Amino acid sequence: MTNQISKEDFFQRVYKIVSQIPYGKVTTYGAIANALGIKSSAIMVGWALNAAKNRSDLPCHRVVNRNGLLTGKKHFPTPTIMRELLEQEGINFIDEMVDLKRHFWKPEIR
């Protein structure tokens, strides 16, 4: 991994950012990777979130792909729960995509 960061350290750094995503907002895998200073590691962010799927303390449903698609929905108990959770938070969709102009949250660069 870039900069000799262990997988565990990287995953913990991802979880720290995900835990800070505000209610009613979403961010992207790439925005998290960029905030960690490893812009090309968006796929690794996805792996970290998949490894955390049993952690109810993390709002993993608030992480979407760069277009606002719910590409992580297959890792939830049902294919519709991710969208349902986002809609409960007041997040709007345009067809199958989150309205990123209204709901995007940019994590701080670390």
Q: What range does the domain containing 76 cover?
A: 7-103
Residue 1 lies in a domain: no
Looking at the structure of the chain, the number of domains it has is 1
How far is residue 24's CA from residue 88's CA, in Å, rounded to a whole number?
A: 9
What gap in Å lies between CA 96 and CA 103, rounded to an integer? Answer: 14
CA dihedral 80, 54, 22, 78 (to 10 degrees): 0
Q: Which of 1-5, 17-21, 74-78 has the highest mean pLDDT?
A: 17-21
- Residue 61 resides in a domain: yes
The CATH number assigned to the domain holding 69 equals 1.10.10.10
Would 108 be classed as within a structural domain? no
In a domain, 27, yes or no: yes
Q: What is the pLDDT of residues 20-68, one digit of tens each?
A: 999 999 999 999 999 999 888 999 999 999 998 778 899 999 999 999 9
| Residue 60 bears catalytic tag | yes
Q: Does residue 12 lie within any of the structural domains?
A: yes
Please identify which of the residues 21, 32, 36, 60 carries the catalytic annotation.
Answer: 60
**Is 85 inside a domain boundary?**
yes
